[in-house]
Amino acid sequence: MNKFINEDCLEAMKEYPDNYFDLSIVDPPYGLDVYANGTMGAGVLAKQSTYKKTEWDKSPPNQAYFNELIRVSKNQIIWGANHFISKIPFDSSCWIVWNKKNGENNFADCELAYASFKTAVRMFEYRWQGMLQENMKNKEFRIHPTQKPIVLYKWLLKNYAKEGDIILDTHVGSASSLIACEDMGFEYVGYEIDEDYYKAASKRLDTFKSQIRMF
């Protein structure tokens, strides 16, 4: 079933029946508009990184997106939900905290994800500070300004998905989520609307799959 498609996720989700996906793990735009000039991280405490100029982070997804997401998936993990919690209609005891172990800089200390599960708040600790990463021996090359580490998605799948689940990612970005699914044997459907990032993510995903076949 595994699919990765260059398409508008809102239109694509309309093709699926209710509760088709067992779990959606998504990282939609937060609406901070910090990538308009193609840079991020500029400041006295952090080195600047350069990416393509873009407008995709000017505003968060509209209410229709969240309605469709909740309709097509039984459970949801939504990164950045603290920026648009008013658009998520259900309370939850289960928030996920990613402690990025950033140290002293102008980036956020943590990122938060809303989760629809009936469990307690959980924390994942993994350093992700520009050139510095928790696992420097297997350092990930960053192709997207909001890229998250593969191990974060593997931790989410280990703790919140079960064998046989079908996973949805509406904003694939760098393909970290899809690589985690490939590595752990989960079926998935992913969407990325930006053609350049879609091509870069597809290449990264294909490279991983080639390595798996080799070993």
Which class does domain 3-214 fall in? alpha beta
Residue 111 bridge partners (DSSP)? 98
3-class SS of residue 27: coil
- CB neighbours of residue 183 within 10 Å: 16
- Specify the pTM: 0.89
Q: Are 46 and 130 in contact, with CB atoms under 8 Å apart?
A: yes
Mean pLDDT over residues 56-71, rounded?
91
Question: Could you tell me the pLDDT band of residue 1, with boundaries at 50, 70 and 90?
Answer: confident
In this predicted structure, what is the pLDDT of residue 103? Answer: 76
> Is residue 214 within a helix (H) or strand (E), and if so which, with residue range?
helix 195-214
Q: pLDDT at residue 48 above 50?
A: no
Please name the amino acid found at residue 182: E
Q: Which two tokens stand for residue 185?
A: 């044997």
